Structure 1
Amino acid sequence: MIWRLLHNRLPTKDNLVAHNIIPLDARFCVTGCGEPETANHLFLSCPFFAPLWTLVRSWIGIAPAVGELLQDHFA
C-alpha cells in the first residue's frame, strides 16, 4: 500500500476520473467536504480522515512531519 500511496496509484476518485472509470462530477471526497478526493487530501487535509491518520501515527509512535505532500511524511 505504501508503494501505491507514494506513486499515486491508490484508487482515489481523482485517479478513477483520470482513467475514465467514473465521471468528472463524481471526483469529490466521499465525506462531502467538497474537495476533490486525492491521496494528499484523504491522508493530510480531509476534515474526517486526516485526524484518523494522526491517531494512527501517534499509536505507532511516529512524530508528525511538516509538509503538504505525502512524500514529505516518508522522508
Structure 2
Amino acid sequence: MIRKYSTTLHGHRTSFSLEPAFHDELKAIADERGLPLAALLREIDDARGVDGNLSSALRLFVLEWLKRKNGEQPVS
C-alpha cells in the first residue's frame, strides 16, 4: 500500500507517495552513505529536473542503486 510522506526540501514543505519498501530502502541507502534521509532526498530532488515527479524519481533512484549494487546495468 502506498503511503504519503512529508519532508522539507530547500525550505519548502513537500510530500511524496511511496510504498513503505521503497521508503525503507531509501533510509538504508542514506545510512549506508552516512547521510541523513533529508540530505539524500534533496540530492535526488536536485537531480530529477523539472519534468519528473519526486515520487517517481525516488523509485528510480532506488532501482538504479540496487542494480548498481548487484553489478547490473543502471536504468537509462
With the length of structure 1 as denominator, give the TM-score of the two structures. Answer: 0.30
Which of these two proteins has the greater Rg computed from alpha carbons?
A: 1
The two structures have a TM-score, normalised by structure 2, of 0.30
Q: Please identify which structure carries the higher helix content.
A: 2
